Amino acid sequence: MSLTKKDLSQIKEVVDASVEGLAVIVNKGFQAVDKRFEQVDKRFEQIDKHLEQVDSHLHRIDLRLDTVEHDMSEIRKHFVYRDKFENAVTRISAVEKKVGIHEHK
């Protein structure tokens, strides 16, 4: 059986309509994907802003820790351990007894 021009024209119309319908469906799908990507992009922008705030906060904490570490370093320069202090007090007390100086309690 051979196809006529009319048959071929009808087949072409059906195929064209199907392709057009498929193109519309695909386009709608891409539009939906685009909308989702816009939402994802907005979310990433929010996350970026939040991370910038966290970075800024961490930077301020680092500066404060640097100050604390410096202060502790200065304190350590003048720090005397208890055992060395007690040893010095014992030795001073012994010297005071020999010299005749007594602290009255």
Tell whether 42 is covered by a domain. yes
- Do the Cβ atoms of 85 and 91 come closer than 8 Å? no
Residue 16 inside a domain? The answer is: no
Chain centroid, CA 12 distance in Å: 58
pLDDT per residue rounded down to tens, the chain (105 residues): 788 888 888 888 888 889 999 999 999 999 988 899 999 999 999 999 999 999 999 999 999 999 999 999 999 998 889 999 999 999 999 999 999 887 655
Structural domain total, the chain: 1
75 within a domain of the structure (yes/no): yes
What's the domain range around 85?
23-99
Provide the sign of the torsion angle of the four alpha carbons 38, 43, 44, 48, taken in this order: positive
| Residue 87 belongs to a domain | yes
pLDDT for position 103: 65
In a domain, 31, yes or no: yes
Question: Whole-angstrom Cα distance, residue 32 to residue 38?
Answer: 10
Q: What is the pTM of this model?
A: 0.50
pLDDT of residue 100: 86
Distance CA(57)–CA(54), nearest Å, equals 5
